[in-house]
């Protein structure tokens, strides 16, 4: 019975012309009315600000995960816990402390460069504390920039520019995710880093061969956007800190409360301002 009525209702909802008596008889008229009411509701929409912030979150999350995927299983804590000790042993056994130190200053194309990147991956996988991890990501982005500066005038591998972009984005995203009060210093670093990136990339671009130009121009554009984003985040953070300081000052300058909580102060009190209740959420 339900099935027949359901099919009849579906047909009516799909716009088929059915005799009103048939609908009445099947008791479907009220349901069609309910369907119409639902269709006529003015449905809520996300605010433009929420939409924009959402897109930033989507891009950040994807950038961070892409960066982590580039590191392969080094980027994943579960695998890291399992395999890192082994990798460490192998790295330490194969490479003497001197080799690792020498690798520090290597650039793409050098024999020791893979060692440098391997050590970085290990460091990153072992650094879980948000502040330390953010600082490490910033310093890795800084290293990529130094490498671009060193090698890109002659020949600029596209993967190095991609790494520079991804590590900068991952660093910015990690810094922005840090709790209030801890991010100002690193935001400042990001701001300076992206500023330097633009200088370096612009200089490299001047001397770069034609084939390397499109990649460098794209990296420069990304860097400009990153710099703007860092600037805005930094300004917001500074504003937030200022507000906090003002709040503290207001608290310090506020008249001290009466000695006894039941004794009123001498100042006449205005009519009580009730805290507005939390009404239903307006979509």
Partner 1 sequence: MAEQAEERSWVERARQGDDEAIGWLYRRYAPAVFRYLFYRLGEREVAEDLTSEVFVRAIEGLPRYQQRGLPFAAWLYRIAAARVVDHYRRMRRRPATRLQPESATSGERAEQEAESRLSAEELQRGLAGLPPAYQQVIVLRFVEGLSHEEVAQVMGRSAGAVRVLQYRALAALRRQLEKGL
| Residue 251 binds partner 1 (CB under 8 A) | no
- Which one, 7 or 25, has the nearer CB to partner 1? 7
**Interacting residues of 161 by C-beta distance below 8 A, sequence separation 6+:** 148, 152, 215, 216, 218, 219
> What SS3 state is found at 14?
coil
| Residue 61 binds partner 1 (CB under 8 A) | yes
| Residue 46 binds partner 1 (CB under 8 A) | yes
- Which one, 52 or 132, has the nearer CB to partner 1? 52
* Count of residues in contact with partner 1, rule CB under 8 A: 41
| Residue 246 binds partner 1 (CB under 8 A) | no
CA distances 121 to 61, 76, 151, 267, 282, Å, are: 19, 11, 21, 65, 47
- Which one, 11 or 238, has the nearer CB to partner 1? 11
Helix (H), strand (E), coil (C) string for 202-251: HHHHHHCCHHHHHHHHHHHHHHHHHHHHHHHHHHHHHHHHHHHHHHHHHH
- Which one, 8 or 100, has the nearer CB to partner 1? 8
CB of 145 to partner 1, least distance (A): 21
Nearest to 124 by CA among 174, 74, 169, 79: 74
At 38, list the tokens.
Answer: 């639902």
- Which one, 78 or 272, has the nearer CB to partner 1? 78
| Residue 16 binds partner 1 (CB under 8 A) | no
Stretch of residues binding partner 1 (CB under 8 A), selected from 61-69, 113-121, 209-217, 233-241: 61-69
| Residue 278 binds partner 1 (CB under 8 A) | no
User: How far is Cα of residue 174 from the mean position of the Cα atoms in its chain?
Assistant: 7
CB of 168 to partner 1, least distance (A): 14
- The binder of partner 1 chosen from 16, 17, 43, 267 (CB under 8 A): 43
- The binder of partner 1 chosen from 22, 25, 58, 180 (CB under 8 A): 58
Max Cα distance, the chain (Å): 92
In whole angstroms, give the CA distance from residue 116 to residue 107. Answer: 9
| Residue 57 binds partner 1 (CB under 8 A) | yes
- Which one, 261 or 283, has the nearer CB to partner 1? 283
| Residue 22 binds partner 1 (CB under 8 A) | no
Q: Please, what's the b/e burial string for 96-106 (b: 16 or more CB within 10 A of its CB; e: otherwise)? A: eeeebebbeeb
Q: Which residues here bind partner 1, judged by CB under 8 A?
A: 2-3, 5-7, 9-10, 13-14, 30-31, 33-35, 37-47, 50-51, 53-55, 57-59, 61-62, 65-66, 280-283
């Amino acid at each position: 019975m339900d099935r027949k009525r359901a099919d009849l209702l579906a047909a009516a909802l799909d716009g088929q012309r059915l005799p009103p008596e048939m609908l009445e008889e099947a008791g479907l008229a009220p349901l069609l009315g309910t369907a119409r009411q639902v269709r006529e509701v003015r449905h809520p929409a996300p605010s433009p600000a929420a939409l924009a912030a959402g897109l930033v979150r989507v891009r950040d999350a994807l950038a961070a995960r892409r960066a982590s995927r580039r590191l392969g299983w080094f980027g994943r804590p579960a695998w890291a816990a399992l395999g890192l000790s082994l990798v460490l042993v192998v790295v330490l056994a194969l490479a003497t402390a001197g080799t690792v130190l020498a690798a520090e200053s290597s650039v793409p194309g050098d024999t020791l460069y893979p060692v440098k990147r391997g050590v970085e991956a290990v460091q990153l996988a072992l650094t879980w504390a948000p502040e330390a991890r953010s600082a490490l990501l910033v310093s890795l982005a800084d290293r990529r920039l130094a490498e671009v500066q060193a090698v890109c005038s002659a020949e600029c591998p596209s993967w190095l520019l991609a790494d520079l972009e991804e590590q900068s984005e991952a660093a910015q995203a990690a810094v922005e995710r840090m709790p209030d009060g801890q991010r100002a210093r690193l935001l400042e670093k990001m701001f300076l880093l992206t500023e330097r990136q633009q200088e370096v990339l612009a200089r490299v671009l001047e001397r770069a061969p034609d084939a390397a130009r499109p990649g460098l121009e794209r990296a420069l554009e990304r860097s400009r956007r990153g710099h703007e984003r860092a600037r805005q985040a930094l300004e917001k953070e500074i504003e937030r800190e200022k507000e906090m300081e003002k709040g503290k000052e207001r608290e310090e300058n506020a008249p001290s409360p009466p000695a006894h909580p039941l004794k009123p102060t001498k100042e006449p009190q205005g009519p009580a301002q009730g805290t507005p209740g939390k009404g239903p959420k307006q979509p």
